[in-house]
Amino acid sequence: MRQPLVAGNWKMNGSRASIAELLGGLKAGIGQVTAAEVAVCAPAVYIADVQSQLDGTSIKWGGQDVSVYESGAYTGEIAGSMLADFGCHFVIIGHSERRAYHGETDEVVAQKFTAARAAGLVPILCVGETLEEREQGITEEVVGRQLDAAIKHCGIAMVGEGVIAYEPVWAIGTGKTATPEMAQAVHAFIRGRLASNDQAVADVVRVLYGGSMNPKNAAELVAQADIDGGLIGGASLKPDDFLAVCSAANS
Ligand code: 13P
């Protein structure tokens, strides 16, 4: 059995005050979420605050990106060891916003996956097609290419130490969710691609859905055989909504 995982991706949102309020709300309600693993991925400058507020709770935390480098003259970059230094458990890798706005290629994303593992972090590898790619009927080709790049660079055993997040780009922040059936089809494809490399890895790796997941649609999505939780953007900024998604995944 794969333990469900719900991770919040706060993206570039919040302030010290709003984050303290959000975490206060999460801590007050998280006691009901006993089966699912829960995490929040914060903007880097707030990770120290998050650590001090979540230390000793069941909620884990993580970063939203990591450098491919270990240290050195890379202005603005944040090394995996730095995230680990602040107690991060997870780090998001290859989010479509980083691929689109920061030119991250499949190769760079794979290097980041390796860098995260070298620092002992659990990478959450994001894959997903754009609307144009879906309309062209090349969703599996795109997602397969993104996954294969990580498997080729890192090896299937290392990919097995991470988490995959299927985030159709057209569903992110748009209010348009993939139907449970559409999402399940891609999740099954992802698991099949992992299985063709190593069945044991495919059995244990969690594949999360991300893209306008919210309290209304979460239960139906996580009920699908190959959907093991969610990577939540907008709804992770409201304690009640995030906790409701966590509860839906809590079985
Ligand atoms: P939304 O939940 O806001 O659509 O964002 C999803 C996402 O990009 C999570 O990484």
Q: What is the DSSP letter of 29?
A: H
Q: Does residue 182 carry a pLDDT above 90? A: yes
Round to the nearest angstrom and report the end-to-end CA distance of the chain: 11
Question: CA 54, CA 27: separation in Å to the nearest integer?
Answer: 8
Q: Does residue 173 carry a pLDDT above 90? A: no
Q: Give residue 73 CA to ligand 1 midpoint distance, Å.
A: 32
Average pLDDT on 134-141 reads 96
Q: Which of 206, 200, 161, 215 is nearest to 187 (CA)?
A: 206
Q: Does residue 136 carry a pLDDT above 90? A: yes
Question: CA 83, CA 197: separation in Å to the nearest integer?
Answer: 30
The residue from 89, 95, 104, 129 that is catalytic is 95
Average pLDDT on 176-187 reads 94
Distances (CA, A) of 242 to 28, 96, 118, 191, 211: 12, 21, 30, 26, 14
Q: Which of 65, 245, 98 is nearest to 172 (CA)?
A: 98
Q: Is the C-beta atom of 167 inside 6 A of ligand 1?
A: yes
pLDDT (0 to 100) of residue 237: 98
Average pLDDT on 123-138 reads 96
Q: Does residue 177 carry a pLDDT above 90? A: no
How do residues 14-51 score in pLDDT, each as one tens digit?
999 999 999 999 999 999 999 999 999 999 999 999 99
pLDDT (0 to 100) of residue 242: 98
Q: Does residue 158 carry a pLDDT above 90? A: yes
Q: Is the C-beta atom of 211 inside 6 A of ligand 1?
A: yes
Domain ranges of the chain: 5-250
Q: Could you tell me whether strands 163-166 and 229-232 are parallel, antiparallel, or unpaired per DSSP bridges?
A: unpaired
Average pLDDT on 69-82 reads 98
Comparing 69 with 178, the larger pLDDT belongs to 69
Q: Is the C-beta atom of 210 inside 6 A of ligand 1?
A: yes
Q: Which residues of 218-230 are buried (b: 16+ CB within 10 A; e: fewer)?
A: beebbebebbbbb
Non-local CB neighbours of 226 within 8 Å, separated by 6+ positions: 184, 187, 188, 190, 191, 207
Question: CA 119, CA 51: separation in Å to the nearest integer?
Answer: 17
Q: Is the C-beta atom of 205 inside 6 A of ligand 1?
A: no
Average pLDDT on 168-176 reads 90
Q: Is 95 a catalytic residue?
A: yes
Q: What is the pTM of this model?
A: 0.98
How do residues 90-121 score in pLDDT, each as one tens digit?
999 999 999 999 999 999 999 999 999 999 99
Q: What is the DSSP string of 145-193?
A: HHHHHHHHHH-HHHHTTSEEEE--GGGTTTS-PPPHHHHHHHHHHHHHH
Query: What percent of the chain is modeled with pLDDT above 70?
Result: 100
Q: What is the CATH number of domain 5-250?
A: 3.20.20.70
Question: CA 65, CA 221: separation in Å to the nearest integer?
Answer: 26
- Whether residue 96 contacts residue 172, with contact meaning beta carbons closer than 8 Å, is answered with yes
Q: Is 187 a catalytic residue?
A: no
Q: Does residue 62 carry a pLDDT above 90? A: yes
Look at phi and psi of residue 239 and say left if phi exceeds 0, alpha if psi is from -120 to 50, else beta. Answer: alpha
pLDDT (0 to 100) of residue 251: 78
Q: Which of 112, 213, 192, 103 is nearest to 158 (CA)?
A: 112
How do residues 211-228 score in pLDDT, each as one tens digit?
999 999 999 999 999 999
Cα 212 to the center of its chain, rounded Å: 14
pLDDT (0 to 100) of residue 1: 81
For residue 171, give the ligand 1 atom closest to its CA: 4
Query: What percent of the chain is modeled with pLDDT above 90?
Result: 96
